[in-house]
Amino acid sequence: MSRIKQCFSDLKSQRKKALIPFITAGDPQPGVTVGLMHAMVTAGADLLELGVPFSDPMADGPVIQAACERALRHHVTLHNVLDMVRDFRRDDIKTPVILMGYLNPIEAWGYAAFAQAAAAAGVDGVLTVDMPPEEAGEFTAAMNAAAIDTIFLLAPTSDDSRMQRVSEVASGFIYYVSFKGVTGANRLDVSSVATKLSELRHYTKLPVGVGFGIRDAETAGQVAGIADAVVVGSALVQQIAELAERPEVIPAALAVTIAELRAGIDKAV
Amino acid sequence: MTQVVTSRTNPSSLPDERGHFGAFGGRFVAETLMRPLDELNAAYRKYLQSPEFLAELDRDLAHFVGRPSPLYFAERWSQHVGGARIYLKREDLNHTGAHKINNTVGQALLAKRMGKTRIIAETGAGQHGVASATVAARLGMECVVYMGAEDIKRQAINVYRMRMMGADVVSVESGSKTLKDALNEALRDWVTNVDNTFYIIGTVAGPHPYPLMVREFQTVIGRETRQQIQQLEGRLPDALVACVGGGSNAIGLFHPFIDDAGVALYGVEGGGDGIETGRHAAPLCAGRSGVLHGNRTYLMEDRDGQIIETHSISAGLDYPGVGPEHAWLKDSGRATYVAITDTEALAAFHNLTRTEGIMPALESSHALAYAAKLAATMDKDKIIVVNLSGRGDKDIHTIAELEGIKV
């Protein structure tokens, strides 16, 4: 069983919902990331989403754009990100790690070669924001051949046929984008998300995670009431930005936030 | 008045129904935009079959844009160059001074029919931004133009023109603060306001159906050229030459000739300081295949897949990607792509200005520079058509500054 599947299965038997923090790899500098990943797991994260820095993050708001720029100032490459995952795996063989980013760095590496390298490093899933299922045939085949789950997005604009199409090609879990917009905007409407998720459950047995707009324990709790996983990104990345000059305090500071989110989720379920 | 050409035959079957030109093109966007792109594609296909829509478009092209644009024999310049006879397709004489308006008129009519009330656009040099602000003013629609902070500094007059027409020009401070970042920001706006907003992309790039749709609105250039050269010379030209940034003026000229094997096609990229220096804007000549801004195409990128900064004297060519159809035309061998340096383009700018009294845009000057080289290798009975895609007024400050003259 894949780590992602095992993780959701364990959580289900404990009647818990997953907390998935997102950070950009190498932000604010490469040395911070692995320690921060461990700190987040210790504080209550169930899966980790690691953003792969890209020069043109079209689906991201200003907070994650700035994180990409900070990481790219240190020339963090996709190869470096896999090194970080490999490093993380020395002390954690259980927590699933998902890479989230844009297609071009993977395209530049080559799908099959990247998939093998990522699997060897201990990556469990890949989410490429600008790769809809229509274009993903070769990509999903290469990832799945290396036992890497391909996580796809669904959005408020996705109609039934798109929900069905994504459900056919997705593995691991499905990531539902809570509103029309970019990461970090403040437009979460939990009741409309709930309606859409109940429609989506007709098409898939996979766990469904919800992201975009979840900024604190309260909104995390609300989303945990309707989804299998809660993804928190910009709120954490903003905290990293504020501490960029003092990188040594970032793991402890984010651990506090993760613990609050964890409590918010556990209270709501 | 010469009648505007209305036949819309399609000599090439590409792209396929999902927007692929061979390995290139497609639709690489976040999920939120997939259904809106389907809706756009459906509306585009529907109205392209609508006689009323096409009649309104042709009326606007004739009476608002000023089409057909002349095909002008540059006799003195041809003699100066020595060799083939060179004709200029005078897109510089269009309303707003470039070919960009052909496309914005078409997309704005489509936006209106789709019930959208708000137009957004990206712009580099400002020509597409001005053309978008112009049609928005005419149709009474809200207009927001995204422009890199660096470009806003370089193109103050176009910024002022857009603002006078009521457009909100938003300065983009992210990334390299140029055209590619303006495109990113426009995509972010669209994903947020997709219900009431129509995104007018200015070139034959982006997710399907944009490369197809923009081509359709720009092929009026090639269709007119075909008819005009038949009238003037009684035959088709031997070669077509056009500059390529995103590539819309080139596709507009080339496309109606793609099935004519006897017509050679030359696309001219911004060579900047020279390909060998790495400081250029020539993805077809020196880039490689990748995915950016919704399509697979040739890109300027580093070995890790990060997009790198481009350099060209011409802001309109300063873009790290190129329309996917050009990528396909290159790989299939149907068209040839070359690069012209900043210095060569400047020389061509001066030559045409002095011999013909026509001041070309710096973008178009790249095409002229290559046409001059090509003509010199051809016999006097050969014919070249160059797309004079825009006028040079917007570039006067750039040129004066380079030459140390205070205007």
**ipTM score:** 0.96
Let me know: does A24 contact A80? Beta carbons within 8 Å.
no
CB atoms within 10 A of CB A251: 20
Query: Residue B317: which of B277, B353, B362, B352 has the closest Cα?
Result: B362
Residue A130 is a catalytic residue: no
Residue A60 is a catalytic residue: yes
B27, B28, B179, B201: best to mutate for the A interface, most A CBs within 10 A: B28
Beta bridge mates, B390: B98
B71 Cα to chain A: minimum distance (Å): 40
Which residue range is the domain that position A174 belongs to? Answer: 3-268
Q: Do B292 and A69 touch (CB under 8 A)?
A: no
- Using one digit for the tens of pLDDT, what is the confidence trace for B40-97? 999 999 999 999 999 999 999 999 999 999 999 999 999 999 999 999 999 999 999 9
CATH number, position A212: 3.20.20.70
Let me know: does B200 contact B244? Beta carbons within 8 Å.
no
pLDDT at B2: 37
Asked if residue B12 has pLDDT above 90, the reply is no
- Using one digit for the tens of pLDDT, what is the confidence trace for A226-247? 999 999 999 999 999 999 999 9
Q: Do A56 and B303 touch (CB under 8 A)?
A: no
Query: Residue A125: which of A115, A134, A138 has the closest Cα?
Result: A115
Give B-chain residues touching A117 at CB under 8 angstroms: none
> Which residues, including other chains, have CB under 8 Å from residue B32's CB and lie 6 or more apart?
A153, A155, A156, A157, A177, A180, B191, B194
Asked if residue B6 has pLDDT above 60, the reply is no
> Which residues, including other chains, have CB under 8 Å from residue B138's CB and lie 6 or more apart?
B64, B108
Structure tokens at B213: 């749709």
Amino acid, single-letter form, for residue A124: D
Percent of the residues in chain B that have a pLDDT greater than 70, as a whole number: 97
d(CA A68, CA B38): 30
Rounded to the nearest integer, the mean pLDDT of chain B is 95
Percent of the residues in chain B that have a pLDDT greater than 90, as a whole number: 90
Give B-chain residues touching A211 at CB under 8 angstroms: none
Q: Do B305 and A58 touch (CB under 8 A)?
A: no
Burial status of residue A14 (CB atoms within 10 A of its CB: 0-12, 13-18, 19 or more): exposed
Amino acid, single-letter form, for residue A70: R
- Using one digit for the tens of pLDDT, what is the confidence trace for B135-154? 999 999 999 999 999 889 87
Q: Where are the alpha helices (DSSP H) in chain A?
A: 3-13, 33-43, 62-73, 78-89, 103-109, 111-121, 137-145, 160-169, 190-200, 217-224, 234-242, 250-268
A48 Cα to chain B: minimum distance (Å): 21
pLDDT at B8: 46
**Cβ-based contacts under 8 A for chains A and B:** 121
Let me know: does B245 contact B318? Beta carbons within 8 Å.
yes
Q: B178: which DSSP letter?
A: S
Q: Do B32 and A155 touch (CB under 8 A)?
A: yes
Number of domains in chain A: 1
pLDDT at A186: 85
Residue of B nearest to A60 (CA): B188
Q: Do B305 and A159 touch (CB under 8 A)?
A: no
> Which residues, including other chains, have CB under 8 Å from residue B362's CB and lie 6 or more apart?
B313, B314, B316, B345, B346, B349, B392, B395, B398, B399
pTM summary value:
0.96
Instruction: Give the torsion sign (CA, A182, A184, A187, A192).
Output: positive
- Using one digit for the tens of pLDDT, what is the confidence trace for B299-336? 999 999 999 999 999 989 999 999 999 999 999 999 99
Residue by residue, DSSP assigns A115-173 as HHHHHHHT--EEEETT--GGG-HHHHHHHHHTT-EE-EEE-TT--HHHHHHHHHH--S-
A177 Cα to chain B: minimum distance (Å): 8
Q: Do B306 and A58 touch (CB under 8 A)?
A: no
Three-state SS at B24 = strand
- B267: part of which helix (H) or strand (E)? strand B264-274
Per the residue annotation, which of A27, A46, A60, A124 is the catalytic one? Answer: A60
Q: B394: which DSSP letter?
A: G
